[in-house]
Amino acid sequence: MDDHQNITKLELADPKDQKDFFWRFWYALPIYPYSRRRTIRKEVIKDTIWTFDQLQGIFYVVVPVRMTVVRLEAGGLLVYAPVAPTKECIELINELVAEYGSVKYIILPTISGLEHKVFVGPFSRCFPSAEVFVTPNQWSFPVNLPLSWLGLPAKRTKILPADSNKAPFGKEFDYAILDTIDLRLGKFAEVAFLHKSSKTLLVTDSVVSIPAEAPEIIQIEPYPLLFHARDSATEAIVDNPVNRRRGWQRIALFAMYFQPSTLEVPAWGQVFGEAKKAPNPSKENYFGLYPFKWKDGWLESFEKLRGNGRLLVAPVLQSLILNRAPQETLNWVEKVASWDFQQIIPCHLAAPIQIESKEFREAFAFLSSKPGENVGFLPDEDFQILRDIDAGLSWLRIVPSAKQKV
C-alpha cells in the first residue's frame, strides 16, 4: 500500500480466509473486532514457550489479549489464559500438539477479567482431554452461577490448590494466588505462574509494559491506529508510519487513563457538526463521529507513561482496585519477587519483557509509603478522571474506599 493512500474501509483478508478468523460467540463479549479475530503465534523460547495474540477494544481503543502455551517436560502443553478458539487459533495450537503432545492443562488465572474468562469454556471443548484449573472464588454478574453454567466442563474443571506443589504440574511451575479483593460489585484476583526451567513469569493484568510502536496484531489491520491519529473528524484517514505511531501513542493513553489530562471532549453539538463534514462518514468511521480534542503535551504524557518500556501497574488498577487491599497485594508481590525469573509475559501489551524481580517489586511502590521509593513517575494530573470515578463510586458505597498505604 502507498504510504499516503487514504483508507475508506477496513482492509479484509481474502473471503476464503474469513472462516479461519470467525468467532461465533462474539456476542458473549461484544467488543471490537466482534466476530472476526486474527491470531499471531510467536515462539518466545525455542521448543518451549509460545504466545498467541489476538485483538480487543472499544471505540478503536485496541490492545492485544494474549495466551501463553508452555511445553511440559513429560510431553504435552499447558495453556495460560486462553484466547478465542477460532479455526486459525486452533490450527496453530494443533501444529504444536502434533510435535510436542496434547493440551493437558488449561489455566484460567483470573476471576474478574471477562476478556479471559469468556474463552475458557469454548477453548476447553476443543481439547476434551485437558484438565481445566481456575482461580479460586470465581463469580459472575448479576447472578453468581455455577461454573458449568458458564460453559466450563463440569467433570474436568478444578480449583487451583493453594499450594502449587499439590497441582499436577507443580514440579515445573510455581504459582502465587493474589488474595481475593472484594469490590462489592465484584471481586479481583489473579494467579502469577513461574515456569521454573525457563525462568519465565506469566501474569494476567497486574503489570504491563507499553511498547514504543503498536504491537504486530494491531499493525496487520491498522484502521484503529489511523482513526486515533487524527486531530479532528474533518481530517482524512491516511496510512503512513507516522500516523500509525501517533495513533498507538494516543490509544495507550486512552487504555491506561480513560481520559488523560491532555484530552478534552468537545461539546456534542460541535462533534455532530464536524461529523457532517467528515470525508469518510462510513460505519467503519463511526459515521464521522470523533469526540476527541488533544491538547499540547499529549506526547510528553505518553513518554512519561511508557517510561522507556518500564514495568507498570496500569493506572486503573492503581486507582480503583489494588489500593483496596494494599497489604494483601504487597504480600503477593513479595512472594512473586522472591522467585528467580528473567522475563515476564503479561496477557496485554508488550511481551516478553526482559526484567527481574527488583523491577517487579518497584512497579508496586505506589502502594507503599516508605520514604525514598519512586511512586511519582506518572503525572498526577493524568489520574484526575480515575480519581473522580473512585470518589463517585466510594461516595455511593458501590465500592469500598481505598485503604491507606502500607
Check residue 331 and give its pLDDT. 95
Three-class SS state of 259? coil
Q: What is the pLDDT of residues 179-189, one digit of tens each?
A: 899 888 788 99
Q: Which residue has the cell 502434533?
A: 98
Give the separation between CA 148 and CA 397, rounded to whole angstroms.
Answer: 32
| CB 194, CB 201: distance < 8 Å | yes
Q: Is 372 left (phi over 0), alpha (psi -120 to 50) or beta?
A: left
Name the helix (H) or strand (E) containing 182. Answer: strand 181-182
Task: State in Å, rounded, how far the first CA of the chain is from the last one.
Answer: 54
Cis peptide before 142 (omega within 30 of 0): yes
Give the separation between CA 21 and CA 301, rounded to whole angstroms.
Answer: 35
- What are the cell numbers at 278? 467528515
Give the separation between CA 225 and CA 295, rounded to whole angstroms.
Answer: 18
303 C-beta neighbours (distance < 10 Å), count: 12
Give the separation between CA 40 and CA 86, rounded to whole angstroms.
Answer: 12
Three-class SS state of 292? coil
> Helices 241-257 and 298-306 meet at what angle, rounded to 10?
70
* Amino acid present at 336: V
Taking the alpha carbons of 334, 338, 339, 344 in that order, is the dihedral positive or negative? positive
pLDDT in tens, the chain (406 residues): 343 344 333 344 444 467 899 999 888 889 999 999 999 999 999 999 999 999 999 999 999 999 999 999 999 999 999 999 999 999 999 999 999 999 999 999 999 878 888 999 999 999 999 999 999 988 777 667 777 777 888 899 999 999 999 999 999 999 999 989 988 878 899 999 999 999 999 999 999 999 999 999 999 999 999 999 999 999 999 999 999 999 999 999 999 999 999 999 899 999 999 999 999 889 999 999 999 999 999 999 999 999 988 999 999 999 999 999 999 999 999 999 999 999 999 999 999 999 888 899 999 999 986 544 444 578 888 888 998 888 888 887 888 888 877 7
DSSP letter for 324, please: G
State phi, psi for 82 to the nearest 5 degrees: -60, 150
Name the helix (H) or strand (E) containing 381. Answer: none
Check residue 67 and give its pLDDT. 97
Check residue 4 and give its pLDDT. 38
Check residue 211 and give its pLDDT. 96
Taking the alpha carbons of 254, 255, 256, 258 in that order, is the dihedral positive or negative? positive
